[in-house]
Chain A
């Protein structure tokens, strides 16, 4: 005790000392009780109490930042986000009138049956599910009921407000918010680690036009599958990518493998005559073949035991523009051999990136099937797109490069705000680019692709109708085809490449039973271009551009060798070599 030192010798001292200590202790105890009292008042007073409850609720672990970043389109439109969902559970023993409660809840919650709820409520358990995933309106309705014995449970869920619109690009996530397909899987780490929204290259308006148009063609021609895409050839950005049949990523469990397959990047196909774009570019670039050259297409050619003929046979000598515009296999094979055959082809395809899987922000990336031995017959069939299988996106990227600057285009699904840092790889010269644009314009103007003509824009393109491989993996089905059309617009200074591929379409009355790419896929491409041009702000082609293209065209009368009938022939003028 502090008083101890001052105490002098005396009999009464210890007594006084004791009193003092008792008094001191009394004060200490009084203070202690007082503080407890103050704390008690503090605790029961309203303001503080509610804060405590709020903080408790907050620390319960249900409220936190979302587990994944949002995905948006190039203009900021929401494509995927996490929302918190509420589920409703009940403690039937606390419900005042379980039967009445069941009826009230069934009235207010969609997909909930009163009879089923009554059964769950009367089993005598202390826990029963009422409904998983309540909408905000339903939550409000339940709160307004004010029934005791009901409790909300929170969890998180990935939602795709655009539903099936961009299903194959976005993919989907599992119950633990882990990416399972598409960009969700390919960029899983990025989406988990950063809260910043992921901006894709898609333009949802374009995506919608493409999906609607291709879905119409898909239904009309009873195809088993379809792929359509729009590629900005300047940046390599994909503005739209549609694969049919598709699925709703919100309920991906219901989708079968057919629906989940991404036919634009995952599937490899022999694209048939579309490949003549590549052969023509190679031939023109080699310098050994010019637009004014002619090849004998009067009869099928034989290579060993094999015979190669034409679908749209003209049975006469054809100029290079004619070979391209009428899609002559016989002429194309000769062009390929004139340009250097197998060796030149291999080198050119390698340069185009057609021998390797595509680099794209998806997991479904098809590996091209390239011939193992480049014997003559293989070389011949590859020139018109058989014996080599690539993804539609491979091909679209190649066309973007060949009709653009002549530089390799690397497609992407993310918005590119700056050009690619990688040094561009030159594929062909600017002269070849100009010639190729003209040839593709010719296909739409006079050749097999006239159904892709639209008022307003000059379109270039190429049709393709490939035999589908047989089920066993050897030979061809003989009945099924893959019909496609690649369109480039505006062809005088290309901005966008549009590719539509239909798997096993059937002709109808409107196409006179034809299922060629020029009859099935080309009109779809025309519709797409007509509608996305204004959306993307592409000015209509000027009459001067059309005159420039037409001036290179000279129509000459030609005798059809087989029937002896007069018809128009095409020759190139002003080739400018």
Chain B
């Protein structure tokens, strides 16, 4: 008959075979999974690329200009830009808005307005002026 240690060895051998078999297929499955994930990444990369291309195509300046024109928008020009220190303060504006009585030598009185110190100013309530 087969001796006891041999049986133990045989069982161990079978277990080992089983384990290796399991491991091998686990690895294989992981590899497949990895390949599938990489595939999905590349696939998504390609989809992203074509979406970006579509985006660039749809937002090309020429088309945006056409669409903007339909909304009544027009290109900005240099006259639309002003530096901050050339915008008047509220106090300057209010002073310029007030008319002052000035007596003339003839005795008549006229009302004069002070010229604003700035070229133009932005009024929060009334918009550009």
Contact = CB atoms under 8 A, between A and B. Distances in A.
Contact of B35 (A54, A83, A162, A530): A54
Interface stretch (A184-192, A310-318, A449-457): A449-457
A2 B33 contact: no
A261 B76 CA distance: 33
Interface string A194-222: 00000000001101110010000000000
B60 A456 contact: no
Interface stretch (B78-86, B92-100, B103-111): B78-86
Contacts of A538: 78
Max count, chain B CB within 10 A of own CB: residue among A20, A161, A457 = A161
A55 B79 contact: no
A31 B14 contact: yes
B82 to A, nearest CB: 7
B35 A81 contact: no
Contacts of B79: 455-456, 540
A163 B76 contact: no
A165 to B, nearest CB: 7
Interface string B40-54: 001101100110111
A273 B2 CA distance: 111
Q: Which residue among B31, B62, B76, B78 has the maximum number of chain A CB atoms within 10 Å of its CB?
A: B78
Interface in B54-91: 54-57, 59-62, 65, 75-83
B77 to A, nearest CB: 5
Contacts of B83: 539-540, 542
A534 B35 contact: no
Interface residues of A, number: 53
Contacts of B33: 51
B78 A454 contact: yes
B36 A35 contact: no
B78 A83 contact: no
A540 B82 contact: yes
A120 interface: no
18 contacts: A3-B1, A6-B1, A31-B14, A48-B29, A58-B38, A65-B42, A70-B49, A77-B59, A81-B49, A83-B53, A207-B61, A209-B75, A212-B62, A456-B77, A456-B79, A531-B77, A535-B76, A540-B83
Counting from the closest, the 3 A-B pairs by CB-CB distance are A456-B78, A208-B61, A161-B56
